[in-house]
Structure 1
Amino acid sequence: MPEKLDDKLVIAISSRALFNLDESHQVFQNQGLQAYSDYQVAREEDPLEPGEAFPLVHKLLRLNTLSGTGQQVEVVLLSRNSADTGLRVFNSIEHYGLAINRAAFCGGESPWRYINAFGCQLFLSSEAEDVRNALECGVAAATLVSGGRQETGNEQLRFAFDGDAVLFSDEAERVYKSEGLEAFTASEKAAARQPLAGGPFKPFLSALQRLQQAFPASEAPIRTALVTARSAPAHERVIRTLRAWNIRIDESIFLGGLDKTEFLRAYQADVFFDDQQTHCESAREHIATGHVPHGVANS
């Protein structure tokens, strides 16, 4: 009987997110596909340098050794490389001892179309178009925009999420964009007991919680945080929404418009997801950051 991944947390990642392929990508852009292919084949025994998502992937795969209940996390490689040029990527995976066994090498085509076939709950890529397509397929996805590979020094895996248009729908953000802060605050106060609809990262947060529950609460190797520009009284609807979803989040930080970067650094986030380009630009030099091109801010 074919193996299924239904009971696992499945993360899809592009080769350019996992490894630093900037140099070879420059060869492709300047000299074309054949030169790129020759370049990769000639260097296929030379390990690639880790990329922006490497520390996150390393921590995700480490969860399998901690659970004691078998493999809980599967990381799948989705690449625009051909299998021929992708051999260097697989050799690099083996060099670093990453337990990544499944991949799709798409020979120049976009690999996003395989995310549902693999049962992925999250897709991380450096290609914004692929990320948008994944979001349209109902999968949480983000474009990695970090300024460089980040290491927190904390063994715990820490996720940070923006609220509106990421964990939640953009319904409240639309009010803010069209009518301003005062109307937004009044609307959220009036709807405080009406749960928000789910955003693109709600299923992923739910999957993370299921994984957290496989460990004793005091020993959970995953921690989650909501880092939002909201403030009181707009906080109540968020709290009641998470309660209605039966989803627990470990930390909730209501900033009232303050810059998020220092709070993300204090939290020691391994990755931060936000729909606003300005927030991503502010955080990217310090925190591995994923832009979520969803909602009214990205229309």
Structure 2
Amino acid sequence: MEGEVAALQAEAECDEPAATPSAPIRLVVAISSRALFDLSEAHRVFEEQGVEAYHAYQVANEGEILAPGVAFALTRKLLALNDKLGERGRVEVILLSRNSSDTGLRVFNSIRHHGLAIRCAAFTSGASPYRYVSAFGAHLFLSADRDDVRQALAAGCAAATILPAPARESVAGDEQLRLAFDGDAVLFSDESEQIFRAEGLEAFTANEVASARQPLSDGPFKGFLLALRRIQALFPIDEVPLRTALITARGAPTHERVVRTLRAWNIRIDESLFLDGLGKGPFLAAFDADIFFDDQEHHCRDTLGHVATGHVPHGVANAG
């Protein structure tokens, strides 16, 4: 958001010690202030008038509570998992922001007002905060800044650009967290997508049928999916408070390799939809996903009207 200094000047704040090897199972999600709250007006001031005007605007509006952003409802559900986990596990949400701690005070005032249990933060005064993703042990990084997301992905962390959309309102009594993923270049590598783009559908299908028993390589979101699975495993199967779905354009017979890959990883996906090229939006709405992750921008544009969407700028679809 803010480009006050070229060199990194980070201020990390946390009122709790780092986790130890004996700590409960952890799920850590890092999120930017523009993904969590609606900072569109403040960002407009920054882009049109510069750093000093932005600083003055944020300080002058410190007492004005920010409205929820695209990932606000997701964040609330993530943190609500702690009520069910008890001592068995813990979900942490970390704020990573290009604000300084001075201009970020409005963000923390809003966090407190909305009752979000976010205690750790890194304010980098204009520099990219992606380098703190691994320092905090984050399994996922969500940001409105595409460059920060690309750098986090290159560093080996699951990351997605939260696309602009109206914030979703939470439905009273709906506490289950539902996360949906595309397959190739998200959960899996883009090795098969490369064949599709270079040689076409027929070559892609022939390769997948011939390689059906050869697991696909890891994609950027495999580690995050494993972390979710560890949380799920703490609950009886009929009481799990989070649900996952694979929603892919693949259809039969190319589905078999995906099924066998997940089996080889010892990962259970709660719902798998093989759509054979059908639009994903209506199916995401039916699943009632809190967020969907896809590597292809045109799919993301199609799903925005249905669910919060994170674009994963990874793989051949995002080359160049």
TM-score class, shorter-chain normalisation, is over 0.9
Determine which of 48, 54, 59 is the counterpart of 2:72: 54
- Please state whether the residue corresponding to 1:164 is helix, strand or coil: coil
Using the alignment, how far apart are the partners of 1:37 and 1:5 within structure 2?
Answer: 38
Alignment match, 1:171: 191
1:120 aligns with 2:138: yes
CA contact (8 A) 1:64 1:70 kept: no
Q: Which residue of 2 aligns with 1:3?
A: 18
- Mapped to 1, the partners of 2:149 and 2:45 lie a distance apart of 24
Asked if 1:194 corresponds to 2:209, the answer is no
**Helix, strand or coil at the partner of 1:24:** helix
TM superposition shift of 1:289: 0.1
The counterpart of 2:286, out of the listed 263, 266, 285, is 266
TM-score (norm 2): 0.91
Query: Which residue number corresponds to residue 248 of structure 1?
Result: 268
More moved, 6-15 vs 19-28: 6-15
1:45 corresponds in structure 2 to 63
Q: How does 1:143-292 map to 2 (within 5 A)?
A: 143-151=161-169, 153=171, 154-292=174-312
Amino acid at match of 1:45: G
Q: Distance in 2 between matches of 1:201 and 1:97?
A: 29
| 8 Å contact kept, 2:88–2:234 | no
Change (3 A) 1:5 1:50: farther
Find the partner of 1:24 among 42, 45, 68.
42
Q: Which runs of 5+ in 1 are unaligned?
A: none
Confirm whether residue 134 of structure 1 aligns to residue 149 of structure 2.
no
Q: Which amino acid aligns with 2:198?
A: S
Measured against aligned partners, the alpha-carbon deviations of 1:149-195 in whole angstroms (never above 9, x if no partner) come to 12463321000000000000000111100111111111100000000
- In 2, Cα distance between the equivalents of 1:80 and 1:93? 16
Q: Which deviates more from structure 2 when the two are superposed, residues 214-223 or residues 255-264?
A: 214-223
Matches within 5 A, 1:43-122: 43-69=61-87, 72-122=90-140
1:182 and 1:71 map into 2 onto residues whose CA distance is: 46
Q: Larger deviation: 171-180 or 140-149?
A: 140-149
Question: How high is the TM-score relative to the length of structure 1?
Answer: 0.97
Q: CA shift at 1:29, angstroms?
A: 1.3
CA contact (8 A) 1:276 1:291 kept: yes
* C-alpha RMSD of the superposition: 1.3
2:6 aligned residue: none
Secondary structure in 2 aligned to 1:293? Answer: coil
Amino acid in structure 2 at the alignment position of 1:207: A
